[in-house]
């Protein structure tokens, strides 16, 4: 079978949209929990700002709403059809992508996304309780994870599978860098050794769904160096930047049967450069500013990879990522 | 269970009267009595939900907003004894053969016109007659009709009649398979003690028929590359396209996935361009190629027609089939059968009045209350008058329409369409049904056993189209030995 460029593009974006929805749902979930213990209005506002930052919606939100109000933010992040990164939009795009590739993907993936879509009208979008929102976020997480489970357990490790996985890892790597950037920004403003630091690094781990994995490797004391090392460089942690980059590289290498042709040369070169940047960077020697510079640079690299990847396989112009 | 059921003066597929089923429904009828109404109701809900969950939907557009809907499913199957089916099968092969000869003829020598059987203007003024685009071509097997959907009805005597030919892009085949699938999942018990024709090999028959259409200049005639061309996921029949492409193992492509270079058609893959030999298109002629048809079309592929004319690609169903399946040409199909095959039609037509003819028009205008009037170019049950059910105003509107554009309309007697029990909302009631039979052709023709039984679920309604509240039923063709029981 030949893989149509349009189909490959849809598979790639289905995976990205689904991963994005899951990550954004988690960001909102973590914040809703944090909110319960926050006692300071200023801290609360700042936390909400971070949720918007992580879900890549801050500037758009601010252009429409003068102040940060939790109900408005929840609505904006979860439901707003004008917010291209809203959960409903990401899930709807993922379903559309799945619908366009129904003849390729496992039936269970389509049925899961379709079920979510069919249940959408029953979800209350205003006057919601926190409990309802948490249920909604949970459904998204389960839909995403079930889809990944079906993909892992039934799909042939061929071209379609590769495009799905590449989409997922690129989205994940970029989001992990974004989350760390937001947390670093916060830590930078605080004095060293402030009690809040513990709380920040804990949040970082929760936002990347890495807390459980982390405490199996390190003592539950939140050491900034340990956390950063874990999230950026740990090659065994499947949400770390290093892991995602390695796996994108490996998958493309297999896709090309280990051969580098003229059309794929640029992609390989770029990936090698990024791999080098990630492995050679030295956390111990860096200031917070330098680290943030690195994370910014890495996010730009992800956008670059997405573009070169699309060009290499003649995919349709990628949607601009904000 | 069926004790309130009324057959009235209609031919009923299942029941002779409320106590007595027809012989070939005897087993089914006995089986029914093992279920309570509650269980049947529950199963019905499960079945409907299964279609929705699987996304087996069609899109209905109103005010340009599309809503995805499922076609309601009714579990009482249409059972056809093998003798009846064998006659239908012969009748369908005969009809499609004649229609194909007609298409080949009018796009070449037009002997049927020259011999005075069919009026020239009926062909030449037909908006779907593409003389310039489709004349004089030598297409594989001279076959214009890869897949036909012929709609059959039964009158009050139980006589099968052809209501309509669909030779362009008949849809609904996927429903035949999904109805059977859901039926087996949800109502497995009902299959006991019935020997019915299986659908298992039908899609490989379809695939075989498709890949026989190798174009003259193909570089890989042994393994031609075939694709299904869809308008995309917003098309109302998209599920049909997905299903058929998937089951035949061919690529599902949109217009933007194809490109024509030097009159050769390619698809755009992640490894570059790949030559395409056969296109099973589900896009109408008008939108196929903006260079040759509607220049505003964005669905099609620029230059496709030239590639087709040069024998570099096969397009099925053929271009220009619409001239043979409109409601005016329909009336001439029995004459085509006599002319080309020297045979009498096995399955007759419904009598049809031409409103272009002054005498017939006068008769029709006098009898609008009794007749059905149809626009020759419309489908899906639109622009249609059902005299006995219509208000005076509506009749007046059609009177005007007919006087204004007589050639645009035909009329037919209101047939007492046969009925069958349907079970919805916890009870059985009679509904009108029809049957779309699918005929696939390559080097030879093959008829899919059964077909899509469509049912007008709104009580008393005659319209079976899914866009207007129609539903579907499973269709069982009994095997020859199965009839011994019946």
Query: Checking DSSP bridges between strand B470-477 and strand B73-80, what pairing results, if any?
Result: parallel
pLDDT digits (tens, 9 = 90+) for A77-112: 999 999 999 999 999 999 999 999 998 999 999 999
Say yes or no: B220 contacts chain A, CB-CB below 8 A: no
Query: What is the pLDDT confidence band of residue A241, given thresholds at 50, 70 and 90?
Result: very high
Kindly state the average pLDDT of the residues A55-79. 92
Say if B68 is an interface residue toward chain A (CB within 8 Å): no
Residues pairing with B433 in the sheet: B455
Q: Write the DSSP assignment of A219-284 as a string of letters.
A: -SS--HHHHHHHHHH-TTSTTSHHHHHHHHHHHHHHHTTT---TTTHHHHHHHHHHHHHHHH--GG
Per-residue pLDDT of A303-320, as tens digits, reads 999 999 999 998 865 443
Interchain proximity B271–A99, CB inside 8 Å: no
Residue B71's pLDDT is 87
pLDDT, residue B2, reads 83
In B, residues 234-253, which contact A (CB 8 Å cutoff)?
A: 238, 242, 245-246, 249, 251-253
| Contacts A–B by Cβ distance under 8 A | 57
Q: What value does the mean pLDDT take over residues B158-174?
A: 95
Q: What is the spatial distance between Cα B340 and Cα B118, in angstroms, rounded to a whole number?
A: 13
Regarding whether A131 and A43 lie in a shared domain, the answer is yes
Q: Which residues of B touch A6 (CB under 8 A)?
A: 254, 256-257, 268
Question: What is the dihedral sign for C-alpha A304, A308, A309, A315?
Answer: positive
A297 shares a domain with A171: yes
Q: What would the pLDDT profile of B291-336 be if each residue is shown by its tens digit?
A: 999 898 888 999 999 999 999 999 999 999 999 998 889 999 999 9
pLDDT top residue among B144 and B427: B144
Specify the pLDDT at position B14.
Answer: 96
Q: What is the pLDDT of residue B462?
A: 78
- Residue at a domain's end among A155, A184, A207: A155
Interface test with B, best of A1, A3, A5 (most B CBs within 10 A): A5
Q: Do B251 and A115 touch (CB under 8 A)?
A: no
Q: A54 with A180, same domain?
A: no
Q: Does the structure show a pLDDT above 60 at B486? A: no
Q: Which residue of A has its CA nearest to B273?
A: A4
- Nearest CA to A28 among A121, A128, A123, A138? A138
Residue A131 sits in the same domain as residue A181: no
Least CB–CB distance from A3: residue in B238, B245, B269 = B269
Q: Yes or no: say if A199 and A183 are a contact pair by the CB < 8 Å rule.
A: no
- B474 or B416, which is more confident: B474
The Cα B275–Cα B294 span in angstroms is 25
* B351 to B157, B162, B359, B411, B459: CA distances (angstroms): 15, 10, 15, 9, 26
Claim to verify: residue A5 and residue A118 sit in the same structural domain? yes
Tell me, yes or no, whether A224 and A316 share the same domain: yes
Is the pLDDT at B482 greater than 70? The verdict is no
> Cα–Cα distance between B188 and A286 in angstroms, integer?
68
Question: Which of A155, A179, A205 is a domain's end point?
Answer: A155
Q: Taking residues B98-126, report their average pLDDT.
A: 96
Determine contact: B274 vs chain A, CB below 8 A: yes
What structural domains does chain B harbor? 23-346+415-485 (no CATH), 353-413 (3.30.1490.270)
- Tens of pLDDT, residues B24-69: 999 999 999 999 999 999 999 999 999 988 888 877 777 667 778 8
- Name the residue among A4, A100, A103 with its Cβ closest to that of B269: A4
Residue of B nearest to A98 (CA): B233
Q: Is B185 part of the contact surface with chain A (CB cutoff 8 Å)?
A: no
pLDDT band with cut points at 50, 70 and 90 for residue A193: low
Residue in B233, B242, B269 closest to A5 by CB? B269
Choosing among B231, B240, B270, which should be mutated to test the A contact, i.e. which has the most A CBs within 10 A?
B270
Could you tell me if A137 and A199 lie in one domain?
no
Q: Per the CB < 8 Å rule, is B233 touching A103?
A: no
- The pLDDT of residue A79: 96
Question: Which pLDDT belongs to residue A320?
Answer: 38
Closest approach of B269 to chain A, Cα-based (Å)? 4
Residue of A nearest to B69 (CA): A118
Percentage of chain B surpassing pLDDT 70? 98
Average pLDDT, chain B: 92
* Residues of B in Cβ contact (< 8 Å) with A3: 269-271
Nearest CA in chain A to B254: A6
- Measured between beta carbons, the chain A residues lying within 8 angstroms of B270 are 3-5, 8, 159, 313-315
Whether the CA torsion A280, A282, A285, A288 is positive or negative: it is: positive
Task: With beta carbons under 8 A apart, name residues in chain A contacting B271.
Answer: 2-3
Domain that includes residue A48, residue range? 1-155
Confidence band for A26, pLDDT divided at 50, 70 and 90: very high
Residues from chain A that touch B245, judged by Cβ atoms under 8 A, are 103
Of B242, B245, B269, the CB nearest to A2: B269
Of B408, B420, B417, B463, the C-alpha closest to B154 is B417
Does pLDDT of A146 surpass 60?
Answer: yes
Q: Kind and range of the H or E element at A184?
A: helix A159-189
For residue A115, which residues of chain B lie inside 8 Å, CB to CB? 53
Question: With 80 as the cut, is the pLDDT of residue A63 above it?
Answer: yes
A91 and A3 fall within a common domain:
yes
Task: Answer yes or no: are the C-beta atoms of B44 and B75 closer than 8 Å.
Answer: yes
In terms of Cα–Cα distance, which of B279, B355, B325 is closest to B439? B325
- Residues of chain B positioned with their CB less than 8 A from the CB of A2: 251, 267, 269, 271, 274
- Residue B484 banded pLDDT, cuts 50, 70, 90: very low
The reply to whether A101 and A248 lie within a common domain is no
Q: What is the mean pLDDT of chain A?
A: 91
Contacts with B268 from chain A: Cβ below 8 Å:
4-6, 314
Pair A150, A112: CB distance under 8 Å? yes
The answer to whether B239 touches B55, Cβ cutoff 8 Å, is yes
Integer Cα distance of B149 and B440 in angstroms: 9
Chain B residues near residue A118 by CB distance under 8 angstroms? 52-53
Sheet of B272-275, strand order: B258-261, B264-269, B272-275
CA A292, A85, A240, A297 torsion-angle sign: negative
- Angstrom distance (rounded) from CA A22 to CA A40: 28
Structural domains in chain A (count): 2
- Residues A294 and A180: beta-carbon distance below 8 Å: no
Domain end call among A124, A140, A155: A155
In this prediction the ipTM stands at 0.83
**Taking CB atoms and an 8 Å limit, are B257 and A4 in contact across chains?**
yes
Q: How far is A3 from chain B (nearest CA, A)?
A: 5
Select from A103, A111, A313 the Cβ nearest to the Cβ of B270: A313
- The per-residue pLDDT for A316 is 66
Q: Which residues sit opposite B373 in a β-bridge?
A: B385, B411
Residues A141 and A213 in one domain: no
A266-308 pLDDT, tens digit per residue, is 999 999 999 999 988 888 888 889 999 999 999 999 999 999 9
**Chain A residue with Cα closest to B233:** A100
Q: Do A134 and A173 share a domain, yes or no?
A: no
Compute the residue count for chain A.
322
Residue from B223, B269, B274, B275 to probe the interface with A (highest A Cβ count within 10 Å): B269
Q: Quick one: pLDDT at residue B251?
A: 94
Distance of CA B33 to the CA centre of its chain: 34
Measured between beta carbons, the chain B residues lying within 8 angstroms of A111 are: 53-55
Cα–Cα distance for residue pair B213/B226, rounded to 1 Å: 9
Cβ neighbours of A314 in B, within 8 Å: 268-270, 272
pLDDT surpasses 50 at B21: yes
Greater confidence, B95 or B407? B95
Q: Which of B233, B254, B269 sits opposite A99 (nearest CB)?
A: B233
Interval B374-405: pLDDT, tens: 988 776 678 899 898 899 999 999 999 999 99
B257–A100 CB contact, under 8 Å: no
Q: A-chain residues within 8 Å CB-CB of B272?
A: 314
Whether residues A314 and B251 touch (CB distance < 8 A) is answered with: no
A31 and A170 together in one domain: no
């Amino acid at each position: 079978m030949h893989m149509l460029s349009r189909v490959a593009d849809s598979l790639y974006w289905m995976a990205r949209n689904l991963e994005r929805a899951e990550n954004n749902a988690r960001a909102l979930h973590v914040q809703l929990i944090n909110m319960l213990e926050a006692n300071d209005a200023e801290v609360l506002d700042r936390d909400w700002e971070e949720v918007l930052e992580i879900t890549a919606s801050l500037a758009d939100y601010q252009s429409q709403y003068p102040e940060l109000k939790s109900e408005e933010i929840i609505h904006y992040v979860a439901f707003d059809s004008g917010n291209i990164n809203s959960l409903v939009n990401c899930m709807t795009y993922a379903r559309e992508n799945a619908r366009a590739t129904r003849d390729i993907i496992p039936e269970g993936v389509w049925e899961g996304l379709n079920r979510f879509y069919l249940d959408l009208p029953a979800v209350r979008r205003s006057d919601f309780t926190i409990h309802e929102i948490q249920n909604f976020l949970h459904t998204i997480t389960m839909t995403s994870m079930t889809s990944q489970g079906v993909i892992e357990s039934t799909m042939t490790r061929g071209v379609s599978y590769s495009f799905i996985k590449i989409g997922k890892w690129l989205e994940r790597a970029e989001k992990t860098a974004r989350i760390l950037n937001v947390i670093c920004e916060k830590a930078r403003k605080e004095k060293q050794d402030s009690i809040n630091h513990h709380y920040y690094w804990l949040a970082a781990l929760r936002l990347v769904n890495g807390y459980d994995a982390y405490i199996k490797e390190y003592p539950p004391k939140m050491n900034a160096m340990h956390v950063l090392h874990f999230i950026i460089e740990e090659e065994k942690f499947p949400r770390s930047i290093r892991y995602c980059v390695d796996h994108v590289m490996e998958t493309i290498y297999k896709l090309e049967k280990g051969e580098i042709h003229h059309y794929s040369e640029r992609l390989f070169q770029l990936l090698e450069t990024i791999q080098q940047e990630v492995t050679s960077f030295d956390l111990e020697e860096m200031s917070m500013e330098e680290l943030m510079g690195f994370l910014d640079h890495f996010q730009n690299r992800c956008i670059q990879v997405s573009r070169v990847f699309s060009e290499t396989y003649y995919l349709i112009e990628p949607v601009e990522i904000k | 269970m069926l004790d309130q059921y009324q057959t009235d003066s209609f031919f009923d597929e299942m029941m002779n009267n409320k106590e007595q089923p027809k012989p070939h429904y005897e087993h089914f009828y006995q089986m029914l009595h093992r279920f309570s109404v509650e269980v049947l109701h529950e199963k019905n809900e499960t079945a409907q939900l299964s279609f929705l969950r699987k996304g087996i939907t069609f899109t209905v557009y109103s005010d340009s907003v599309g809503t995805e809907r499922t076609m309601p499913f009714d579990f009482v199957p249409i059972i056809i004894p093998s003798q009846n089916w064998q006659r239908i099968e012969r009748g369908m092969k005969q009809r499609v053969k004649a229609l194909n000869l007609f298409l080949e003829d009018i796009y070449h020598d037009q002997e049927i016109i020259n011999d005075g059987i069919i009026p020239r203007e009926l062909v030449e003024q037909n908006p779907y007659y593409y003389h310039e685009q489709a004349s004089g071509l030598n297409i594989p097997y001279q076959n214009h009709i890869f897949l036909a959907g012929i709609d059959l009805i039964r009158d009050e005597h139980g006589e099968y009649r052809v209501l309509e030919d669909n030779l362009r892009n008949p849809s609904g085949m996927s429903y035949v398979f999904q109805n059977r699938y859901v039926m087996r999942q949800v109502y497995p018990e009902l299959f006991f003690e019935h020997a019915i024709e299986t659908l298992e090999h039908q899609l490989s028959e379809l695939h075989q028929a498709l890949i026989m259409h190798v174009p003259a200049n193909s570089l890989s005639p042994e393994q031609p590359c075939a694709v299904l061309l869809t308008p995309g996921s917003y098309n109302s029949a998209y599920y049909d396209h997905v299903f058929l492409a998937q089951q035949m193992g061919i690529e599902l492509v949109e217009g933007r996935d194809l490109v024509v270079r030097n009159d050769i058609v390619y698809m755009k893959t992640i490894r570059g361009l790949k030559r395409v030999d056969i296109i099973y298109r589900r896009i109408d002629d008008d939108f196929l190629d903006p260079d040759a048809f509607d220049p505003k079309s964005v669905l099609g592929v620029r230059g496709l027609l030239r590639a087709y004319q040069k024998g570099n690609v096969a397009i099925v169903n053929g271009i220009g089939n619409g001239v043979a399946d409109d409601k005016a040409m329909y009336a001439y199909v029995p004459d085509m059968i006599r002319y080309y095959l020297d045979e009498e039609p096995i399955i007759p037509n419904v009598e049809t009045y031409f409103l272009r003819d002054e005498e017939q028009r006068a008769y029709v205008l006098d009898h609008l209350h009794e007749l059905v009037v149809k626009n020759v170019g419309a489908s899906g049950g639109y622009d249609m008058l059902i005299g006995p059910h219509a208000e005076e105003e509506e009749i007046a509107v059609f009177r005007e329409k007919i006087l204004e554009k007589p050639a645009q309309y035909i009329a037919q007697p209101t047939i007492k369409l046969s009925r069958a029990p349907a079970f919805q909302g916890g009870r059985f009631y009679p509904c009108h049904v029809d049957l779309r039979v699918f005929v696939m052709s390559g080097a030879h023709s093959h008829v899919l056993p059964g077909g899509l039984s469509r049912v007008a679920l709104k009580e008393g309604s005659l319209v079976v189209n899914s866009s207007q509240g129609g539903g579907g039923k499973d269709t069982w063709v009994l095997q020859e030995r199965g009839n011994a029981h019946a």
